């Protein structure tokens, strides 16, 4: 079987042949159909991600496929089930073994590509906006990087929760994607002063920030009193420093969110959130935006689409797609 992996942190990933894995206790083996790419995969390659699995590392954090074998202490009836898994790694492969407890059954109508694009992006935004920020109907949500993988889902979920959504992105084409997801107002960060533009729209009650850098600072200055700022990531490469006195003056709250971290201490936060999200999908209320699907052999090209910000929404690797 083929895997797309790194032999060492800081080394370029390559496609390699390895033996078919055998599931251990409480594990299942999946025939992987699709794997969603994330900005965190780029950090994993560089050894800069908050988790560093043992080397060599097969990339790919979220995946979907069919259970083809089960290990000891796993119900044999799982065999043949269509499931999604947030694994942290191992998704960019034709097969893989994963904890049975992390397998989430797919809605009947959900494609493997949609499932592979779903968990991290929608899960991050839903837990951030609902569990952390307690976003309320009628509040103004400012989404930075609104055409990216997680930003676009924040626009969609924010509207689903009744917020007025201001979407920020670079260029008219990317803003059009955010508008189709439900954004009420659009700000082109290539041309507009972010702080002035947000204040002209009445300021922000909640800020969703996967970008960091100067945009974080501008967004914080455009916050209303008692606003909540969600730190999701640093796609700009710059983790900003926050002056505590600025938080004090407006009674601001800054909160970080590492979605996968909940698996270690409150996994029910994720499982409850995903149950809600899958129900919304089944009701036709959510539809993942996948801008590119590529075969396993072109995984490096998919990662480069994220690195150069040429993708909108998600990039998905489909194992049965011709090279």
Handedness of CA 123, 125, 131, 136 (dihedral sign): negative
Q: Is 276 within the bounds of a domain?
A: no
Per the confidence metrics, is the pTM higher than 0.85? yes
* Domain limits for position 91: 2-118+288-318
Kindly state whether residues 254 and 159 are assigned to the same domain: yes
**Cα–Cα distance for residue pair 221/70, rounded to 1 Å:** 53
Kindly state whether residues 29 and 16 are assigned to the same domain: yes
Looking at the DSSP assignment, which residues form a beta bridge with residue 34? 64, 318
Kindly state whether residues 303 and 251 are assigned to the same domain: no
Kindly state whether residues 69 and 140 are assigned to the same domain: no
First to last CA, the chain: 16
Under DSSP, the state recorded for 106 is: P
- 233-278 pLDDT per residue, tens: 998 889 999 989 989 999 999 999 999 899 889 989 998 999 899 9
Kindly state whether residues 243 and 308 are assigned to the same domain: no
Kindly state whether residues 192 and 226 are assigned to the same domain: yes
Q: Is 77 within the bounds of a domain?
A: yes
Q: Kindly tell me if the per-residue pLDDT of 321 is higher than 80.
A: yes
Handedness of CA 107, 113, 114, 118 (dihedral sign): positive
Kindly state whether residues 174 and 301 are assigned to the same domain: no
pLDDT-derived band at 223 (thresholds 50, 70, 90) equals very high
Kindly state whether residues 132 and 251 are assigned to the same domain: yes
**Cα–Cα distance for residue pair 4/14, rounded to 1 Å:** 5
Closest CA to 229 of 217, 245, 214, 238: 217
Q: Which helix (H) or strand (E) holds 17?
A: strand 14-17
Question: Which CATH number do you get for residue 49?
Answer: 3.90.180.10
Tokens describing residue 188: 């082109």
Q: Kindly tell me if the per-residue pLDDT of 231 is higher than 90.
A: yes
Q: What is the pLDDT of residue 206?
A: 98
Query: How many structural domains comprise the chain?
Result: 2
Determine the average pLDDT of the residues in 182-195. 96
Residue 34 has a CB neighbour count (10 Å cut-off) of: 26
Looking at the DSSP assignment, which residues form a beta bridge with residue 14? 5
Kindly state whether residues 200 and 309 are assigned to the same domain: no
Kindly state whether residues 101 and 86 are assigned to the same domain: yes
Q: Is 269 within the bounds of a domain?
A: no
Q: Is 170 within the bounds of a domain?
A: yes
Looking at the DSSP assignment, which residues form a beta bridge with residue 164? 140
Kindly state whether residues 136 and 244 are assigned to the same domain: yes
Q: Is 323 within the bounds of a domain?
A: no
**Cα–Cα distance for residue pair 121/36, rounded to 1 Å:** 10
pLDDT-derived band at 97 (thresholds 50, 70, 90) equals very high
| CA angle at 299 for the pair 112 and 303, rounded to the nearest 5° | 100
Q: Please identify, among 210, 238, 259, the residue that sits at the C-terminal boundary of a domain.
A: 259
Q: Kindly tell me if the per-residue pLDDT of 173 is higher than 90.
A: yes
Q: Kindly tell me if the per-residue pLDDT of 323 is higher than 80.
A: no
Q: Is 94 within the bounds of a domain?
A: yes
Q: Is 278 within the bounds of a domain?
A: no
Mean pLDDT of the chain: 95
Kindly state whether residues 111 and 137 are assigned to the same domain: no
Q: Kindly tell me if the per-residue pLDDT of 50 is higher than 90.
A: no
* H runs (alpha helix) in the chain: 39-46, 112-116, 119-126, 149-160, 172-180, 194-200, 213-221, 244-250, 262-265, 267-282, 299-307
Q: What is the pLDDT of residue 88?
A: 92
DSSP 168-209: EESSHHHHHHHHHTT-SEEEETTTS-HHHHHHHTT-EEEEEE
Q: Is 178 within the bounds of a domain?
A: yes
Q: Please identify, among 259, 280, 307, the residue that sits at the C-terminal boundary of a domain.
A: 259
Question: Which CATH number do you get for residue 220?
Answer: 3.40.50.720
Q: What is the pLDDT of residue 271?
A: 86
């Amino acid at each position: 079987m083929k895997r797309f992996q790194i032999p060492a942190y800081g080394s370029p990933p390559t496609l390699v042949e390895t033996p078919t894995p055998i599931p251990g206790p409480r594990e299942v083996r999946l025939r992987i159909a699709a794997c969603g790419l994330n900005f965190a995969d780029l950090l994993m390659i560089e050894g800069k991600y908050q988790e560093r699995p043992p080397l060599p590392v097969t990339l790919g954090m979220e995946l979907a496929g069919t259970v083809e074998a089960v290990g000891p202490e796993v119900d044999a009836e799982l065999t043949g089930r269509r499931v999604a898994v947030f694994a942290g790694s191992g998704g960019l492969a034709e097969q893989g073994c994963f904890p049975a407890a992390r397998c989430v059954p797919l809605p009947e109508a959900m494609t493997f590509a949609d499932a592979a694009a779903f968990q991290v992006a929608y899960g991050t935004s839903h837990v951030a906006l609902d569990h952390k920020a307690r976003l309320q109907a009628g509040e103004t949500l400012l989404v930075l990087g609104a055409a990216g993988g997680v930003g676009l889902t924040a626009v969609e979920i924010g509207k689903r929760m009744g917020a007025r959504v201001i979407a920020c992105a670079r260029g008219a084409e990317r803003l059009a994607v955010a508008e189709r997801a439900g954004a009420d107002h659009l700000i082109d960060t290539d041309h507009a002063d972010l702080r002035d533009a947000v204040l002209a729209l009445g300021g922000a009650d909640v800020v969703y920030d996967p970008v960091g850098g100067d945009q974080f600072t501008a967004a914080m200055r455009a916050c209303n009193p008692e606003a909540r700022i969600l730190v999701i990531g640093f796609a700009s490469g710059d983790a900003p420093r926050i002056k505590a006195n600025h938080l004090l003056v407006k009674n601001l709250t800054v909160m970080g969110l590492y979605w996968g971290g909940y698996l270690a201490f409150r996994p029910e936060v994720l499982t409850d959130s995903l149950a809600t999200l899958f129900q919304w999908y089944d009701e036709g209320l959510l539809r993942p935006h996948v801008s590119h699907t590529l075969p396993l052999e072109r995984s490096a090209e998919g990662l480069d689409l994220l690195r150069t910000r040429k993708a909108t929404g998600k990039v998905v690797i489909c194992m049965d797609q011709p090279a």
